[in-house]
């Protein structure tokens, strides 16, 4: 089947490459000439493990190509995916659908034969029906269907998530569209991965509900972590104890500096806005948003306390600034709250991140970038572990402590234990939801 993928951002590019690996002929469309030039040269504009190699394989096989010409891409296509950005709209928290509707208008001007127009972007409930109305108004005689096919890709594990999904959600209106979608996902049908067929509105809601629930789990355990610090409990033991309950599960129960990224912040805000407009406030989701913001700010206080009550004049090495490991994505990362606050407080901040420089250099003005954790820690007053990249999970703590002027650690991902930190020579250590230690009996 010929597939047109409109948008070569994270979702569009990963989806287009993986669909081509299913054996489909895929043409990816974008308005950015520099991005298309980069893709045609075999380079990907995002960091995602394995994506560049898989893209090269399918380009070589003749199944994958890139173009600036949308009209050319949709000619003969039976499936046209809209995978453009839906950022938070400034001022009201709603998803900005400008790019979705612009793509729909271009499709209406370009499509000549029957196709299914499929929204893969995360969109509020009712958007697919608006897309259909828009195309119908512009091209009344056109025969087409719309479908909702939200993505559930984890950055850093997107290819595996696409090829071995927990489930595929497909919202359709009739049997003809269902058949097209079944052909697109035939390799997954054959391997018995769950394909859930719903109406349009349910598919749209599933995406928001899933992300809001996961964000709630993260925020819940972070709030429990704050309480653990006050009462002397260990959040890692608490998380293990509750996670063994099959009704709860152990995923997304790791305490840390708050969630970030391209999905959770945007989708929780959008869901809250959808609820307000529908006269059914999403009170839990609204609280999650507020508590998550408070969690990030609490990390600044934690680092300040670690440094003796003030960071002015202190040199602090921050290990990891992307919102999670195995991605270069900085969107709503905790570092965007924490690092500027430290710099604003008078600290000299040194940053180390395997993939964060490309975006982070502009987003974190005033930070000094290093390629090596040990060099960043040279004569530093504190080291902060903010993103759990593998290279930060296996640090030589003794070597790190020896290089520092005052060996103090804020382990905001709970990678190490207080015992290991003390044995390595650290004089102060704090984590999230666990007891720390410091001079004169200070308990972080």
Residue among 148, 124, 296, 337 at smallest CA distance from 212: 124
> Is-contact 139 108, C-beta < 8 A?
yes
> Model-level pTM?
0.92
List the beta bridge partners of residue 365.
none
> Is-contact 147 81, C-beta < 8 A?
no
Residue among 285, 297, 273 at smallest CA distance from 217: 285
Residue among 231, 229, 202, 9 at smallest CA distance from 100: 9
Q: Can you give the pLDDT at residue 264?
A: 94
Q: Can you give the pLDDT at residue 291?
A: 97
Using only the alpha carbons of the chain, give its radius of gyration: 24
> Is-contact 288 209, C-beta < 8 A?
no
**Which tokens is 322 given?**
């992307």
Q: Can you give the pLDDT at residue 208?
A: 96
> Is-contact 123 86, C-beta < 8 A?
yes
C-alpha torsion angle, residues 70, 73, 79, 80 (rounded to 10): -20
Residue among 334, 353, 245 at smallest CA distance from 294: 334
> Is-contact 29 103, C-beta < 8 A?
no
Active site residues: 263
What are the distances in angstroms from CA 120 to CA 83, 102, 111? 5, 15, 19
**Which tokens is 19 given?**
């669909």
What gap in Å lies between CA 441 and CA 444, rounded to an integer? 10
Rounded to 5 degrees, φ, ψ at 383 are -125, 135
N-to-C CA span, the chain: 59
Positions of the chain with pLDDT lower than 70, given as ranges? 91, 440-444
> Is-contact 444 382, C-beta < 8 A?
no
Q: Can you give the pLDDT at residue 361?
A: 94
């Amino acid at each position: 089947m010929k597939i047109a993928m409109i948008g070569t951002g994270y979702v569009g590019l990963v989806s287009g490459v993986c669909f081509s690996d299913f054996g489909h002929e895929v043409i990816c469309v974008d308005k950015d000439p520099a991005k298309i030039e980069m893709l045609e040269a075999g380079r990907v504009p995002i960091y995602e493990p394995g994506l560049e190699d898989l893209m090269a394989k399918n380009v070589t096989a003749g199944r994958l190509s890139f173009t600036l010409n949308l009209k050319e891409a949709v000619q003969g296509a039976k499936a046209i995916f809209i995978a453009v950005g839906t950022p938070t709209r400034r001022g009201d928290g709603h998803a900005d659908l400008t790019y979705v509707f612009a793509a729909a208008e271009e499709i209406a001007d370009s499509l000549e034969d029957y196709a299914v127009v499929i929204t893969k972007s995360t969109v509020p409930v009712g958007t697919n029906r608006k897309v259909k109305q828009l195309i119908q108004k512009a091209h009344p005689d056109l025969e087409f269907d719309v479908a909702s096919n939200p993505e559930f890709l984890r950055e850093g594990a997107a290819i595996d998530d696409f090829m071995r999904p927990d489930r595929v959600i497909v919202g359709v209106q009739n049997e003809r569209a269902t058949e097209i979608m079944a052909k697109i996902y035939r390799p997954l049908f054959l391997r018995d991965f769950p394909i859930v067929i719903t109406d349009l509105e349910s598919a749209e809601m599933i995406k928001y509900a899933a992300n809001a629930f996961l964000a709630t789990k993260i925020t819940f355990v972070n709030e429990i972590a704050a309480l653990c610090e006050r009462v002397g409990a260990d959040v890692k033991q608490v998380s293990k104890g509750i996670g063994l309950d099959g009704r709860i599960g152990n995923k997304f129960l790791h305490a840390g500096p708050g969630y970030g990224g391209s999905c959770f912040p945007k989708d929780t805000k959008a869901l809250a806005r959808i609820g307000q407009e529908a006269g059914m406030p999403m009170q839990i989701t609204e609280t999650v948003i507020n508590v998550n913001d408070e969690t990030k700010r609490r990390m600044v206080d934690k680092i300040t306390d670690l440094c003796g009550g003030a960071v002015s004049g202190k040199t602090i090495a921050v290990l990891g600034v992307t919102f999670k490991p195995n991605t270069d994505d900085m969107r709503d990362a905790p570092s965007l709250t924490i690092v500027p606050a430290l710099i604003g407080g008078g600290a000299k901040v040194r940053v180390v991140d395997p993939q964060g420089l490309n975006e982070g250099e502009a987003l974190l003005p005033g930070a000094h970038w290093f390629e090596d954790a040990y060099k960043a820690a040279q004569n530093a007053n504190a080291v902060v572990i903010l993103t759990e990249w593998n290279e930060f999970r296996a640090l030589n703590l003794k070597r790190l402590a020896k290089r520092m002027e005052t060996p103090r650690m804020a382990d905001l991902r709970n990678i190490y234990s207080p015992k290991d930190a003390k044995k390595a020579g650290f004089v102060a250590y704090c984590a999230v939801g666990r007891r720390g230690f410091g001079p004169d009996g200070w308990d972080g």
